[in-house]
Every structure is written in structure tokens, then in C-alpha cells.
Amino acid sequence: MIDRENAILLRFEERHGACTGAGLARAPGRVNIIGEHTDYNEGYVLPIAIGQNTLVAFRPNSSRTVNAYSMTNEETASFSLDERKLDAIPHWASYVAGAAYALQDADVQPAGMDIVIHTTLPVGGGLSSSAALEVSCALAFTSAAGVEVDRKKLALICQAAENTYAGMRCGIMDQYVALFARSGAAVRIDCRSLEHELVPLLMSGAKFVVCDTGVRHKLASSEYNTRRGECEHGVRLAAQIFGGEPIRALRDVEPEDLPELQAHLDPVVFRRVRHVVTENARVVEATKAMKMGNCIELGVMMDASHESLRDDYEVSCKELDTMVEIAWSQPGVYGSRMTGGGFGGCTITLIDTAHVDAFCERMARSYKAATGTAPSITVCSPEPGAEVIRAAS
């Protein structure tokens, strides 16, 4: 980490003069163990923060302009805090600008800054690189302004940044776990109440392995927004069907309600509803399994989640299915599923520790043979949440 911090500060110095007084902020990516596409339906999710993260060096520049440089894209983007012209900057910079503008919308006034960004997260890989960028920049802005914002409020501000200024109608999970994660524990989030529970990983004989398909399908963002619209349509119809029952989100629909809904809903909308309702139930069961250290039951829930995402929510793709099927065929695997928004990105697999090395070797070989692409494979454990490593001075 120290070498990386020095590297980003050296780049800051190259672009903005001596790095004296520059601050550093970090926010992690995340992998979701289970609970996919439930957050924007006010349901439950069970993610962990991972070691891959976004790091920003920052310093106020006594102006009303933010100058951001991405080491990943080797691009500079400048924007005004007073004139919101998002069409004049690259898309990646809309997450930086969005963090600043969403803070302003929440009556927090950021100052003009010079920022250098470095990430070890794959962009579009389903590990929440966007939330890591928003959260790290939001912490930089608030730190530089000398303002401390409640972390739940900050999570909502960063979600608004993505919804309003980056055009992605995401739920709260990614920003929330980036801010509240703890080492050694998953974060079970109630996306309605915004309360969370830290669930210790008691499975000493198993590991989570994240495998990146290397695929980034362009339809992910548009299809994500489409799925959200279909869920909202399902909620409106469910409220009509059940009359006096208060249904404001799919969180309020129970598994036993599904047969009656199926008789009234369009088949596509019903499948979307069924995924969310059953996925919420799976998160509840998966949390119980984790608390008991029951790898077998957790694996069953993960497998069922993938099948539901593939068949009912239809957000998987050939490459994700191939990767999961390879995992299912390997010794020592308890469960495997796609993770993230879908249409490419990553899978998460729970595997007996004794089989991890062999699994990684077989996955690399078999997936490349099937697709022609070498996957990126990471053994991960729960990491701590975002922080200001050093304040600007």
C-alpha cells in the first residue's frame, strides 16, 4: 500500500507541483455473496468489501474548478462547481462530478480541488468500481471542506450521485458497504431501514474466490434500468391485486403470494418479481447459514441465486454461465453464482480451503479453453471500509 500511495503522490506532483499538503482517501470495491437486484427493491443484501480499491490524492486549489486525472484512463477532466455541464467531460469523470454535485444538493459545499485517481478495480467488472470512485471522492471533498457527514447520509449522497449524474439507477448496497464494511465480516443490509448487521465469517475451512470473466457487455446499464422499471411495474400491479395490503416495494411481497401474482401478471414481469421475492428469502437463509458456519446451506442458496438470475431475472450471459458451470463441476465447491449487475463481470464461489489452489488452476484452464479469454481470479476475504488516510493540509 505504501508503494502505491507514493506512486499516486508522485503522479500528483508531476501534474500539480509539489505534493505538500495533499490528502489521500480510499474506498473499497465489493463482492456480493448473495442478494442481487434486491437493494433497489428495498430488500436485503449480504456483501463484503474486498482488497481491490480506489485511491485518490487530493488538495484544494483555491478555485471553483475541480481538475481530476485518472491514472487508469490517462485522462484529465475539469469541471466547474457552479456550472453543471456533464456532457463536456468523459463518462468516468461524471462519477467525480456527481459526488461534488450531490454533496451540493445535500447542502454540503465542496471546494475546488486537484485530484489524481488510481484504482485496482476492474471497470465494469461487477465489483463496484463506480461506488468506490464516488465514495473516495466524496470523502476527499468533505475532508478538504472540513465537514464530517454521517456515513448513512454520505451513502445516500453517493447513491444520488450515480442515479442523478451518472445515469445509473442503482440501489444503495454498493455505496453503503463501501462505507460500513469491517474486516472479517459480511454486511447484511436492510435496504429499506438502512440498518445493517455485521455477520462474522465463521467458515474457517472455506474461502470465497472471485473470478472475472473479462466480459463487459454494453447493454448492462440500459438493461439494469429496464429491470428496475419492470420491478416498479410489478409493485404497482401487486398493490392493486392485494388491495388493502400496503405494498410499496417488492420487499413487501412474500413467497406465498407468488401463485396469486402469477395468475395476474405478464409472464416477464412475474419472473422479475419472483426473482426478487425469492432472493430476499435466500439472503435471510444465507445469513443464518453463515452465522452457523454452514457452508453446505450457504452454497445451496448461492446456486439457487444464480439459477434465478439466469432464468427469472435474465441478467446472466454465456460467459457467466460457463464460469459458474465450470465451478459447479469442481471438487470442494459448495456454491457459485454470478455477482453484480450482470451481463458480464464476475462470479463468486465458496470452496473448501483445501481445494482452492486446484480450483484456481482448473478454472483458468477450462474457462480459457471454453471462451478464449484468460480469467482474472482472486481469493478474497472481508476488508475494512472507506477512510481518509491523510487529510489535506
**Is pLDDT of 244 > 80?**
no
Per-domain residue ranges of the chain:
2-201+383-390
Q: Confidence band (pLDDT; 50, 70, 90) for 171?
A: confident
Q: How far apart are CA 338 and CA 128, in angstroms?
A: 14
The mean pLDDT of 139-158, rounded to a whole number, is 96
pLDDT of residue 219: 58
pLDDT for 355 equals 98
Burial of 210 (C-beta count, 10 Å sphere; 0-12/13-18/19+): buried
Query: Residue 179 and residue 151: Cα distance in Å, rounded?
Result: 7
pLDDT in tens, 48-94: 999 999 999 999 999 999 999 999 999 999 999 999 999 899 999 99
Using 50, 70 and 90 to split pLDDT, how confident is the model at 243?
confident
CB of 139 within 8 A of CB of 23? no
At 225 the pLDDT is: 86
Strand-pair partners of 68: 77, 115
* Reported confidence tier of residue 218, pLDDT bands at 50, 70, 90: low
For residue 220, is pLDDT > 70?
no
Model pLDDT for residues 374-383, shown as the tens digit of each residue:
999 999 999 9
Cα–Cα distance, 169 to 96 (Å, whole number): 17
C-alpha cell at 276: 426478487
- Nearest-angstrom CA–CA distance, 29 and 39: 17
- pLDDT band for 222, please (50, 70, 90 cuts): confident
Q: What are phi and psi of 253, to 5 degrees?
A: -95, 130
Q: How far apart are CA 377 and CA 78, in angstroms?
A: 35
Q: Identify the active-site residue in 82, 107, 114, 174.
A: 174
Say which CATH topology domain 2-201+383-390 has. Ribosomal Protein S5; domain 2 (3.30.230)
Mean pLDDT of the chain: 94
Residue 189 grid coordinates: 443490509
Q: Which is more confidently placed, 41 or 221?
A: 41
Question: Among 282, 330, 290, which residue's Cα sits nearest to residue 307?
Answer: 282
Q: What is the mean pLDDT of residues 338-363?
A: 96
Q: Is 174 designated active site?
A: yes
pLDDT at 346 over 90: yes
Q: What is the DSSP letter of 116?
A: E
Read off the pLDDT of each residue in 292-314 and give the average, rounded to a whole number: 97
Band (pLDDT 50/70/90 cuts) for residue 184 is: very high
Spacing of C-alpha 82 from chain mean position: 29
User: pLDDT band at residue 182, thresholds of 50, 70 and 90?
Assistant: very high
User: Is residue 308 within 8 Å of 283, Cβ to Cβ?
Assistant: no
For the cut 90, the answer to whether the pLDDT of residue 320 exceeds it is: yes
Q: At what angle do helices 151-160 and 91-105 cross, to 10 degrees?
A: 130
Place of cell 439494469: 224
Q: Residue 349's pLDDT band (boundaries 50, 70, 90)?
A: very high
pLDDT at position 18 over 90: no
**240 confidence band (pLDDT: 50, 70, 90):** very high
